[in-house]
C-alpha cells in the first residue's frame, strides 16, 4: 500500500516500480481519486502495490470519496 499526503510521489513511485504508467501523475494535488493496484515481480517475489488518493482535507466531493475509499483500503490491508 502506497499512501500519504498529496504530491509526495506515490503515483510516480508505483509507475517506476511497475515499469509502466499505470497511474496518472501531475503537479496538481489530488490527481489520484481511485485506488490503483498492480502486481509486480520484485526479485522473484510477486508483490501487489496499491496507489491511493492523497490523504488530506478537501472540499471536492469526488476527491473526498477517493480519500474515504483509500482509508478503507488502508484499514482492509491490516485485517
If you write DSSP's letter for every residue of the chain in order, what string do you get?
-B--STTSSHHHHHHHHHTS--S---SSTT---S-EEEEEEETTEEEEEEE-------S-HHHHHHHHHHHHHHHHHT-
Q: How confident is the model over 36-69, as pLDDT tens digits? A: 899 999 999 999 999 888 899 999 998 899 899 8
Return the CATH superfamily for domain 10-77: P-loop containing nucleotide triphosphate hydrolases (3.40.50.300)
CA dist 12 and 72 (Å) reads 22
- How is the chain split into domains, by residue range? 10-77
pTM: 0.77
Q: Name which residue leads in pLDDT, 14 or 76.
A: 14
- Would you say 32 and 66 are in contact if contact means Cβ atoms under 8 Å apart? yes
Amino acid at each position: 500500500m502506497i499512501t500519504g499526503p498529496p504530491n509526495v510521489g506515490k503515483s510516480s513511485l508505483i509507475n517506476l516500480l511497475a515499469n509502466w504508467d499505470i497511474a496518472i501523475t501531475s503537479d496538481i494535488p489530488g490527481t489520484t481519486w481511485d485506488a490503483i493496484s498492480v502486481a509486480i515481480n520484485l526479485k522473484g517475489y510477486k508483490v501487489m502495490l496499491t496507489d491511493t488518493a492523497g490523504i488530506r482535507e478537501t472540499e471536492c466531493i469526488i476527491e473526498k470519496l477517493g480519500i474515504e475509499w483509500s482509508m478503507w483500503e488502508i484499514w482492509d490491508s491490516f485485517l
